[in-house]
Structure 1
Amino acid sequence: MDNISSVNRTNDSHQPLLNIPLPIVPEVPILPSSHNVTKSKESSYLVYNRVLKCGSSSVTKVINDLSDENEFDMYVVHQNHALDDQEIQDLIGQIQLLTQDKLVWNSHFYYVEFKKFNFNPIYMNVVRDPVQRMISKEIHSIDALQLAKKHIEEEYSVVGIVEEFANTLLLLEHYSYFKGASTAYSENNSRENVNPHPEQSEKVIQKLKQELQIDLELYNFIVKRFNVQLQHMKSL
């Protein structure tokens, strides 16, 4: 299959998240669960709105390696991280023109409430320990924690963990896009772009943890949800 389509648009990785208007989310606890939101989604389309420095090269290679065997295409788009309504509508239109069959939309962009556009794809993503991500790349905005939890719990079928990449693939194997992912990863050593970083002192680590408290809270929420999903899957 011609499994990769690539579209280049303006790509400004430094767009400020603070300029994006955020809806009000009630300040009530959002608890991670094993709830599977996939049943309410259009299984023909999977959106991987990858996060910078969070294993995207590895995940993209796994997706690419499995596209022929699992009969889907991958659509790679390079555009602004923050999309306006017209850009979203244009991209959805392009994707639906490409195929009505299985397709992975692979791109760096902030969460989009696709239901507003009569488009309801499956969401998935992978994150990384914020302290390690900070060492590798400057941190993105740490705002909108409550909204991020809400989106993750209600919209994302799986949010994997770079540090638990093998188990991430185990969870993703429940979706036809990733059938055989664990075997492919093991056989092909799919993890790419693993660059060792100088070991940091405990003082530096503690300083980063202080500065990344909100990121760590979101990361720990995702880890708890990940472990609950993994435990649930293994009990089946």
Structure 2
Amino acid sequence: MRMLKGIKRYITLVVVVCCCVWYVFQWKPLIKHNKLIKHGKKLSLAQLPNIHGDRENPDSIKWSSNSEFDRSGNKMLAIKKDDDVSSSLGSSWKFNNDTANQKWIYEWNETVVYQGLLPLVDRLNVYSDDMPRIIFNRVGKCGSRSVLDIFRNLAERNRFNMIESLVYTQKILPPEKEEMVAQVLSQIQPPYLFQRHMYHINFSYYKLQSPSYINIIRDPIARFTSQYYYRRFGDGFQERTWTFNGTERERYQTINECVLRDQYECSKRRTFYIIPFFCGNDPRCKQPTEWTLKRAMANVKQDFKVVGLLEELRDVFLVLEKTWPTVFGGSVKLLEHPSEGQMTNRTAALTRAKEKPSPKVTAILKEQMDLEYRFYSFVKSRFHALKRKLGIRHKL
């Protein structure tokens, strides 16, 4: 017994020490940064501690394990002050002008910020149509993985920075992290596209100019059905390991059985999913209420330049091309003529073992997803109006 108590004390001590070290070297600098901002002091992210580099020499860059290599195995280029060409925004940071070898796709773990890990400038960005800043706060199970495959290809072809978050499960951000993310995105070298599963951030709350948001949604029942079976069986990416938090009987339960048995997984609370991505990080945004719906609609009108429909994906890319041709030019061609590898990825991204809801279950879901369908109709109406404005004819 004494030995067990000694082991428990030792483990507790190790955990406490690790937490203290993490706080001092990772989280404390960001908290200090946020406090300064709240008191009206605008620090550039270039002034944050270079956590993985030499603290005495901020130009000395060391690579973290998750950012040293990109998806294709190419080593990331360091961006230092002594490079040849300056930013088009007049920043004091210099950027590598060897565009043939320039890195355009960056992965960010959201715990460290320093020059080289991300393409930063040392001043807040100012919006320009020629140098767009775009956030794709993608809704789950709305085709975003297939869309991202095209965006990555475009980043290399059209030479814009694409920032990909390595955080996949935290959709709602606590206030400190929300502000930190807003600050970072306000100092990324444009043109850029940032993608992440996350709820809308109100940049004006932090006295920052908002980037342009884009998103894609789909029929709410179709989305929920895809998510229901995705949790159980995954998709065609063989390297993924899928776990289901439930019994084997629950795993093989159809969506019809789940709804008719009135189980929590298929309740109104669990089917309320799309609207919070547009409402934001206010705790009230998680509740299926009229207030949540109205706030989501207001944010779409204010901050979202394009919200398209998965059912009209070709038109989504046409709209994006016309809106930002320097970023999304060529996207329709990539959609219609994918490479063999892209075709394989699209097929693999399809959720397995889906069974459509019966007419009875569809009626039940439509009733309990009334807010989601009202928002879907709102987005659909705006998207069709935008297509007409841009001269894009809707194909039946």
Q: Does the 8 Å contact 1:62/1:185 carry over to 2?
A: yes
Higher percent of residues as strand: 1
Residue in 2 that maps onto 1:185: 335
Mapping of 1:11-160 within 5 angstroms? 43-77=131-165, 78=167, 80-95=170-185, 99-117=188-206, 118-137=208-227, 139=271, 140=273, 141=286, 142-143=288-289, 144-160=292-308
Q: Does the 8 Å contact 1:3/1:73 carry over to 2?
A: yes
Residue in 1 that maps onto 2:106: 5
Residue in 2 that maps onto 1:203: 360
Shift in alpha-carbon separation, 1:40–1:149, aligned structure 2, 3 A? farther
Shift in alpha-carbon separation, 1:170–1:2, aligned structure 2, 3 A? same
**Which runs of no fewer than 5 residues in structure 2 stay unpaired?**
1-101, 112-126, 228-269, 274-285
Q: Does the 8 Å contact 2:131/2:190 carry over to 1?
A: no
Query: In the alignment, does 2:384 pair up with 1:227?
Result: yes
- 1:127-160, CA deviations, whole angstroms, 9 ceiling, x for partnerless residues? 1110111112253253400111111112111001
The residue type equivalent to 1:4 in the other structure is I
Sequence identity, in percent? 25
SS of equivalent residue, structure 2 residue 162: strand
Shift in alpha-carbon separation, 1:205–1:235, aligned structure 2, 3 A? closer
Q: Does the 8 Å contact 2:182/2:203 carry over to 1?
A: no
Q: Does the 8 Å contact 1:166/1:182 carry over to 2?
A: yes
**Which runs of no fewer than 5 residues in structure 1 stay unpaired?**
11-38
SS of equivalent residue, structure 1 residue 234: coil
Residue in 2 that maps onto 1:27: none
Q: Does the 8 Å contact 2:315/2:392 carry over to 1?
A: no
Q: Relative contact order, CA 8 A, sep 6+: which one is greater?
A: 1
Residue in 2 that maps onto 1:173: 321
Once the two structures are TM-superposed, the CA of residue 42 in structure 1 deviates from its matched residue by 8.9
TM-score normalised by structure 2 residue count: 0.48
Q: Does the 8 Å contact 1:45/1:122 carry over to 2?
A: yes
Once the two structures are TM-superposed, the CA of residue 102 in structure 1 deviates from its matched residue by 1.1
Aligned length: 207
Once the two structures are TM-superposed, the CA of residue 116 in structure 1 deviates from its matched residue by 2.7
Q: Does the 8 Å contact 2:136/2:195 carry over to 1?
A: yes
Residue in 2 that maps onto 1:25: none
The counterpart of 1:194, out of the listed 336, 350, 359, is: 350
- Structure-2 separation of matches of 1:219 and 1:104: 24
Shift in alpha-carbon separation, 1:198–1:235, aligned structure 2, 3 A? closer
SS of equivalent residue, structure 1 residue 165: helix
Shift in alpha-carbon separation, 1:42–1:156, aligned structure 2, 3 A? farther
Shift in alpha-carbon separation, 1:161–1:72, aligned structure 2, 3 A? same
Once the two structures are TM-superposed, the CA of residue 95 in structure 1 deviates from its matched residue by 4.0
The residue type equivalent to 1:50 in the other structure is R
- Structure-2 separation of matches of 1:4 and 1:71: 10
Once the two structures are TM-superposed, the CA of residue 181 in structure 1 deviates from its matched residue by 0.7
Q: Does the 8 Å contact 1:51/1:127 carry over to 2?
A: yes
Moved over 3 A (4+): 39-44, 92-97
Once the two structures are TM-superposed, the CA of residue 106 in structure 1 deviates from its matched residue by 0.5
- Structure-2 separation of matches of 1:41 and 1:183: 23
The residue type equivalent to 2:351 in the other structure is N
Q: Does the 8 Å contact 2:225/2:356 carry over to 1?
A: no
TM-score normalised by structure 1 residue count: 0.78
- 1:22-72, CA deviations, whole angstroms, 9 ceiling, x for partnerless residues? xxxxxxxxxxxxxxxxx8889431111111111110221111010122110
